[in-house]
Amino acid sequence: MRPLPTHSSSAEVWGGTVIGIVQGMEAAGYPEMKLRDLLRICNLPVIEVDGWYALNRFLLFLKEAEAAFGADALRAGGRAIPTSAKFPPDLDSLTRGLQMLDVAYQVNHRKGAIGRYRCTELTDGRAVMICENPYPCALDQGIVERLIAEFVPSGLQGTVTHVAGKPCRCQGGRACHLEVRWWHGEP
């Protein structure tokens, strides 16, 4: 079991984020009724877009969803985040999206320490995202995959992978280090 980075037990997540992640999983083919059952089991039976919900309960839901469906379900949910959560309106490039990911994260959470995202080693065609938050790394991968899909210009390709040799939350680390690359033609 991976240790969660420190976050406040009173921390909350915005309902639009919760709904978006669940809808992202549903759109990828994960059964709606099973997802709704998991929400109910985690004491999140009714989610309203403008409501605020205990982050600990939502993290439990994600853990249960991953146990039921695997990490790909979380990646699918993460891919819905940039269109369902509150994001800065002036995103016009992948680098800007990566740099503003923490701003979006902070706006969609409240009440105490919740962790953060940092974009480092930014060069033309490469960046490293340090995801130090309590979410599963597969969800973070999905978020970055969606940013790549949205902002990598036509004719370019992009990938997101764990940085080799760096600790990962799913292996006991406090943060995931994700390498983001984009390029023309073959890698």
Q: Tens digit of pLDDT for each residue in 78-108?
A: 999 988 888 888 888 899 999 999 999 999 9
Question: What is the rounded distance in angstroms from the CA atom of residue 131 to the CA atom of residue 129?
Answer: 6
Is residue 176 over pLDDT 90?
A: yes
pLDDT score at 170: 81
At 175 the three-state DSSP class reads coil
In angstroms, the CA 7 to CA 66 distance is 21
62-85 pLDDT per residue, tens: 999 999 999 999 999 999 998 888
In the structure, what pLDDT confidence band is assigned to residue 118 with cuts at 50, 70 and 90?
very high
CATH number of the domain at 25, please.
3.90.1520.10
> What is the pLDDT, as a whole number, of residue 6?
54
What domain range is 180 assigned to? 1-187
In this prediction, residues 31-58 reach a mean pLDDT of 96
The pLDDT of residue 187: 53
User: Which pLDDT score, from 0 to 100, does residue 19 have?
Assistant: 96
Q: By CB neighbour count within 10 A (0-12 exposed, 13-18 middle, 19+ buried), where does 46 fall?
A: exposed
**Band of residue 109 on the pLDDT scale cut at 50, 70, 90:** very high
Six token digits for residue 118:
């940092």
pLDDT of residue 83: 85
Q: Return the structure tokens found at 29.
A: 């083919």
Q: pLDDT at position 171, please?
A: 82
Q: What pTM value is reported for the model?
A: 0.91
Domain count, the chain: 1
Question: Residue 114: CB partners within 8 Å, gap ≥ 6?
Answer: 7, 8, 11, 55, 105, 106, 133, 134
Q: Please state, as a whole number, how many other Cβ atoms lie within 10 Å of the Cβ of residue 157.
A: 13
